[in-house]
Structure 1
């Protein structure tokens, strides 16, 4: 269950009549527990509670429904219970149906409220559903509840107004929802003349059968688009006259409203009864945008980007510098004034803005710095100099774009309340300003200079009004005063396999004339290239969240020569970490953050996020495209092994329709004699078989044994099936090999070699790459690579932490799994010259790894290398191998993976230079330019 589904279940529980005997189980069900789990708890077999009326779920919660007036003492009993401790319960909870109290035993945080109000605190209990979230998410219960109810209303309205869900009217529906959100916010924050004005007017003036609800709302919208001096002539209804003139495009144009059913009207009133003062525009937009997207509604509640994560982008991009200048200014009035002027000229541009998270948080952080400047200058309450028009975005879909505008408006009002006071905020809020800089369009096809032109020039951009933004709009004049521009955001990640034809065409258009290899690039690459091009003629910097694939594998040598060639260099980077959201189990994608610019303002800095979330930073001379401190080198595939290691080949490719490959039962069905078996059958292994210890076989025939094989009926039938399969292929190569149907299409083994084998794909969760020693006679598929009859010390290299880190960096991943390559990974692996003693020591390490594995027979690679259950002796054998190898490199163990990569890239650079290997060149960054 996701957070929104949990909220709905919890709200339904609170609204139902309280039943003490059923409450504990209903509460657990609301957080995703299955009926089979609840059945065992009811029966007592899994319920070890020692508190009257209690239910204890191991590793989760100890809760009890108690007699009236005994909530406090029951909670104490739960806290002091020996069973609570022994079962490692994380939460305790007590309620009598009137009062509700709970405690998080790990943090000491508590909840105490009326029973009917406990859904407002449901975020407190999200860990019960496996949603381990940052504190900001757990405290965003209002945003999640509002999203849930708006989603219900949206779906219900589409049932009775199906035409509003069509492409023709989808914008009208989305615009209607934006109007409602504004009204709910305005009625709870004094923007309207009294609290709940909108909700109570709809409730009073619309019939309970909902027959005129649409008309009442339409009239209110019409009033909010009519100036007070024009209302009499417009014949605005007297009951609607209490509403202020809003304008700004939010209520202009068509005031048509979808028809409401009784259920839809009820949902609307429930939404109005929420306390909209609690709305958080930082995150609300991210969740609400899913309401209007059919593809995303199934993941409703997962669209949250935490503020700390967004600040990982914004702080090093520009906020840290502003705060440093504030600290430097101290109480100096002139320096503070100059800083305030600078802030007022800064533009924030998100060319994939979605619902505006990055823009809203940038605005709020800049307002906080400006407010501190005003305080130090004795100008508390001063009107802000920071215009919303400095916060610009591009968004492909119209509803998120609309929500982004609304979120910025709400953020501005909330900041005015905080820093200027409620009276001043209200005085300046209405009517809304019609200027708008959120453009709805395809960011990879638009000219970014039309949205963010060079500074110091007059801008004539088109915008009809705040909430309608076709690209050909009425003219707005706006003077840019020479400030810097910061481009930021979280563009869409789509690997080449998942890109649509249009998206592939977008990338081709962006890279036109610079590479013919756009098909290897992730979709996010287009934003980096467009930003680099923009920065070539403008002052500022850019920073994006990206899938880490752009800094791994083949895309590196395609994308980054373009970015560096535009004159940019990487100014800061976060190495790979999980960009989490509200999904169950804190699911998230592994990302990097990369900041780059033309002007180097300070020493580049690499940030790393530890397992506990702690961030460390390291300054360096240069950050390369692999996000390693070092020169701008590109690792490119080569057919030659860089060091003195053995040659590695790909495995054999059958292309046989499955007729040469055999499961154990299929082998038995061939009815072969022992002699036939020995001559024609081999053990067969691909990645899956190697890692999981699966038994498979293959028919292995060469030219010399083909005649012998064809005289065996069961073998002959399979050979003929292969021929038929290959002849039917659309590929010429496959059809051509139909003349030798007894053999694999691509053969790279004699079949008699001892093999050191590496699976092509393996899980990222393992601490070491799986590598196996396979006896002669084993045939490997093209899902593996192998060293044939190679010295065993080569296996020590493959099994090392050094090699895993190198492969992860230069080869990239398939989805989240390691993707091995012989030409890009093994052949480029920088190995220093090894003495005979070095080789002997490494051979002994490889033997020790094999012997410790053997002692755990029949455990498989999958069993032995599970990070949770890896045997201690196997781990020690690997650590000894790592220590032996790393001492060869630097005379000691490396401190961390960052140091490992830095050494390997340094060695790779020297070794390739010595061999005269070429690498794409990058232009040097421009000299530092002082900020005004």
Structure 2
């Protein structure tokens, strides 16, 4: 909202409410009117909640007058004649001021919903309490002063999301327009596949986009100047007109042809290097292309409303053939960018500005606001995987929005005509990037210029200054290059850098090409010049984590990067993080737990990601946060690489069990091309035609068969004699196909087993009963389904087994303690748990139990098995569905959990899962040390 418009809205609000103020009748209307008319909230009834119930210490229910979740503001409203400093008798006999009442309500809320601000009001005054300083006096804003001091109540609103939806829609439409122009334009090139032609069309597209934006934003002077110039030319001369136009924009007024056409001469000098290369290939235009440019893209569309943050990604993917093949336009949402930049630095800056707004002396406000502006202008940022510049662009916009608020505090209503004193201090020179794709570099620079222009106009609206945006300054801080190959010091001196941000490429270790694998190995080199173990088995994104950790060593710089969640799970934790802790002494300051990162493409490709903020441990944050969603977090003392509150202990795979317990082994691996296996129908057909084959048919279990009670069979021919097999043509035919399959394999070890076509390639089938553990299980289950099996049941390598296991082993590994360990360190398949014997079972610290405790665990373990037998027709998938899990089974597990926790010395009812994992990490560390 424009400053003058907001002042007028505040003035009108004062008039409406000057003589009103009944607590029961007017409270909600008062706040809804304030939010909508003064602060521009379109749907205030969805923005603020009233009368939220809370239970107080006397177990009676009270109600919060108002609560704004987006900004964590709690409101306690009183009538117009109430003194906000005096206490009022409560139902329990105590006397509490409105603020003390609000504090009591706050104490009953979950930590993540506790207010950052408490406002008490009597319609005439607003008392603003900063809960970061709970013992300080409140700031007071009087209703009669709201016209001048409206900014002090801006803590009510979340400015970051007010325009996002509209700008996103416009930006996608803009991308579609450019896509249409690009698709038709490329057909006019003599050789559309020629690399120089592709580079030319990309540059041409960038220039057209800037021109469309510049005419709608008023940068050229009058609106529609670009359109009005081009409309004079027919299709035949359109190409020449475009070339002349670009030439003029790249030429200073004093250097131009004095006889230049007056329409061309009216255009300002742009600079910035955008129109510098006059040798790019520009083809002829068609009638339809001229129409697309003049009508669809120019007359019928307002480019000034695009979001440069979103449009940068949309634009790049629109013109990038590879990205278009993947699903068309994509971009990183502004909300996801803020998950990176808000906890890294933006929240602290917003907090500092809000504290300035609550100061009472105008001289102090102006002085502090000027200091704050200088601080903003001193910050530097690097995105070493810049792409189309969306992280840098959104960060620039966020800083400029804060600067604009500071400028209002500094200059107020003053009209600034003389701006030699550098009114705007935040500049693009503070933002650095590295990007391997030359076109993305051009897009990023253009997006930043557009962002600069938009924020420039917002400053003019606020301060009424008369300053021209053009000519733009050359911007060379985004460097084309391979971030994993180059020295980042050549981009910015590491001691001058404040923050590293970004979203590096997501390429799993199994799909990296040879060059990428070579890069990863060369990066993960230890101090002795040797490769770190597992450096060839970590995701590509880890290269940026290593380079960033190396770059910030012994500096003040803080980092926040997006990554696939794989680097915080399973074996990759040791491969990625051990070198970072051992060599660079990093410390994790905040983290987002796994969530889906949507690239917003038409195919909606999604990956599961985490966000990790870290620094050198000498500048670690005192208050660490683990986020579950935007603004939903818990404060913890320590965050380890598994993104849980626990000591920084890294669990490494072990082929030997660290505790004295029965070994866990993989099931049998057939490597047969599927020819050993039979569906129920195939099994029935085989037996009906060859009855003697029945003794060689066994029920077989992988994870899916075990959990879902899926019927499947296999041929188990270990004891079959040659004459028996010769008499069974159908069985013999399958054996022949197994042999042929193995002979065709590229693996020599498989070729060798073509000589043994009657057997599984790897036979681990025990001749005793065993405990079966699925290797993959749903993340939605509290317990991984585990069970006993007889030796008659064949198992594949989709499961793991413990031969000769007892009820005691079953009780321990099916307990909530073991499941917590598994959830913390296991790898994932998408989000499903991947149970590994070497990583989860062999490293698990078992309790030191006495006979009494062992017997108790055996009893409770049997209770679980007994509860399952009550439902013989239900699969384990049914029984372990958290929604419909039978009461008897749940109680049996709870009894087993209790027995196991007691064996560990954990207090039942008091120990959280986080507590138990923390204890297990300490026990693991002792185990490793003792070994």
TM range (shorter): 0.7 to 0.9
Structure 1 position 138 matched with structure 2 position 178: no
Please name the residue that 2:297 is paired with: 271
Report the CA distance shift for 1:682/1:367 in structure 2 as closer, same or farther (over 3 A). Answer: same
What's the counterpart of residue 115 of structure 1? none
Structure 2 CA distance for aligned equivalents of residues 803 and 776 of structure 1: 26
**Inter-partner Cα distance in structure 2 for 1:438 and 1:770:** 52
CA positional deviation for 1:858: 3.8
Distance between the aligned counterparts of 1:162 and 1:780, measured in 2? 62
- Matched residues in 2 for 1:253 and 1:180: separation? 14
Aligned match of 2:214 = 186
Classify 1:426/1:192 alpha carbon distance in 2 versus 1 (closer, same or farther; 3 Å): farther
TM-score, normalization by structure 2: 0.74
The DSSP-based 3-state class of the residue aligned with 1:205 is coil
Go from structure 1 to structure 2 and tell me whether the alpha carbon gap of 1:219 and 1:883 turns closer, same or farther (over 3 Å shift): farther
Q: TM-score, normalised by structure 1?
A: 0.74
| Residues 639 and 226 of structure 1: CA distance in aligned 2, closer, same or farther (over 3 Å) | closer
Q: In structure 1, what is the Cα distance between the partners aligned to 2:568 and 2:859?
A: 35
* Per-residue CA distance 1:182-211 (angstroms, 9 max, x = gap): 112111222112112212332x2233xx33
Unpaired runs of 5+ residues, structure 2, are: 1-41, 49-159, 417-421
Question: Partners in 2 of 1:799 and 1:264 — Cα distance?
Answer: 67
Pick from 314, 322, 327 the counterpart of residue 287 of structure 1: 314
Q: Is the 8 A contact 1:624 1:630 kept in 2?
A: yes
**2:665·2:800 contact (CA, 8 Å) conserved in 1?**
yes
Q: Give, in whole Å, the separation in 2 of the partners of 1:509 and 1:686.
A: 39
CA distance in structure 2 between the partners assigned to 1:772 and 1:135 by the alignment = 54
Query: Any conservation in 2 of the 1:572–1:607 contact (CA below 8 Å)?
Result: yes
Measured after TM superposition, the shift of residue 246 of structure 1 is 0.8
CA distance in 1: counterparts of 2:47 and 2:612, whole angstroms: 37
Separation of aligned partners in 2, 1:720 and 1:454: 65
> Equivalent residue for 2:592?
574
CA distance in 2, matches of 1:707, 1:422: 92
- Partner of 2:195: helix, strand, or coil? coil
Q: CA deviation at 1:563?
A: 1.4
| Contact 1:416 1:424 (C-alpha < 8 Å) held by counterparts | no
Q: Does 1:213 align with 2:213?
A: no
What is aligned with 1:239? 263
- Residue 441 (structure 2) aligns with: 401
Equivalent residue in structure 1 for 2:517, among 480, 504, 520: 504
Q: CA deviation at 1:420?
A: 3.9
Matched, 1:811 2:826: yes
Cα drift, residue 592 of structure 1: 1.4
Instruction: Quote the residue 1:832 is aligned against.
Output: 847
Q: Deviations over 1:215-254 (max 9, x none)?
A: 3222222221122223225x64333222211121111222
Given the alignment, which residue of 669, 690, 695 partners 1:653?
A: 669
Judging changes above 3 Å, is the alpha-carbon distance between structure 1 residues 433 and 307 closer, same or farther for their aligned structure 2 residues?
A: same
2: CA distance, partners of 1:184 / 1:879: 66
1:306 aligns with 2:333: yes
Q: Distance in 2 between matches of 1:850 and 1:584?
A: 48
Q: What does 1:77-116 align with in structure 2 at a 5 Å threshold?
A: none
Distance (Å, rounded) in 1 between the aligned partners of 2:215 and 2:689: 87
Distance 2:868 2:236 in 1: 75
Q: Distance in 2 between matches of 1:369 and 1:104?
A: 24
1-structure distance, mates of 2:741, 2:354: 74
Answering whether residue 570 of structure 2 is matched by residue 543 of structure 1, we say no
Aligned equivalents of 1:603, 1:439: Cα separation in 2: 31
Distance in structure 2 (CA, Å) of the matches to 1:161 and 1:873:
73
Equivalent residue, structure 2, for 1:248 = 272
Residue 629 in structure 1 maps to residue 645 in structure 2: yes
Q: How many Å separate the matches in 2 of 1:372 and 1:769?
A: 53
Q: Deviations over 1:390-421 (max 9, x none)?
A: 10111122222212111211222222222344
- Tell me what 2:917 maps to: 901
* 2:750 is the counterpart of 1:734: yes
Partner of 2:713: 697
1:519 aligns with 2:532: no
Q: Identify which range, 597-606 or 184-193, moves more after superposition.
A: 597-606
1:646 deviates by 3.5
Deviation at 1:734, TM superposition (A): 3.2
How big is the alpha-carbon RMSD for the aligned residues of Structure 1 and Structure 2?
3.5
Q: What secondary structure, in the 3-state scheme, does the structure 2 residue paired with 1:314 have?
A: helix
Aligned to 2:768: 753
The number of residue pairs the alignment matches comes to 755
Aligned pair partner of 2:285 in 253, 260, 278: 260
Structure 1 unmatched ranges of 5 or more: 1-102, 110-132, 456-482, 918-932
Give a deviation string over 1:347-380, Cα, whole Å, max 9, x none: 1000111111211222222223334444444487
Separation in 2 of the partners of 1:159 and 1:586?
29
Offset of residue 757 of structure 1: 1.5
Residues 273-312 of structure 1 deviation map (CA, whole Å, 9 limit, x = unaligned):
2122211122221222110112322566762323333222
User: Hey, what's the Cα distance between the residues in 2 that align with 1:719 and 1:167?
Assistant: 54
Q: Which residue of 1 aligns with 2:394?
A: 361
**What is the rounded CA distance, in whole Å, between the counterparts of 1:149 and 1:772 in structure 2?**
59
**Equivalent residue for 1:781?**
796
CA distance in 2, matches of 1:106, 1:817: 39
* Of 453, 456, 467, the match for 1:413: 453
Q: Quick check: 2:164–2:334 contact (8 Å CA) kept in 1? A: no
* 8 Å CA contact 1:219, 1:236 repeated in 2: no
- After TM superposition, the structure 1 = structure 2 runs for residues 407-806 of structure 1, keeping only pairs within 5 Å, are 407-421=447-461, 427-455=467-495, 483-512=496-525, 513=529, 514-515=531-532, 517-536=534-553, 538-564=555-581, 565-582=583-600, 588-603=606-621, 605-610=623-628, 615-620=632-637, 622-643=638-659, 645-671=661-687, 676=692, 679-702=695-718, 705-706=720-721, 709-710=724-725, 712-714=727-729, 715-727=731-743, 729-750=745-766, 752-806=767-821
Structure 1 pair 108–320 and aligned structure 2 pair: CA distance change class (3 A): closer
User: How far apart are 1:164 and its partner, in Å?
Assistant: 4.5
2:248 maps to what in 1? 223
Q: Distance between the aligned counterparts of 1:578 and 1:880, measured in 2?
A: 35
Instruction: State the distance in 2 between where 1:881 and 1:271 align.
Output: 68
Change (3 A) 1:887 1:259: farther
Residue of structure 2 in register with 1:344 after alignment: 377
CA distance in 2, matches of 1:848, 1:106: 52
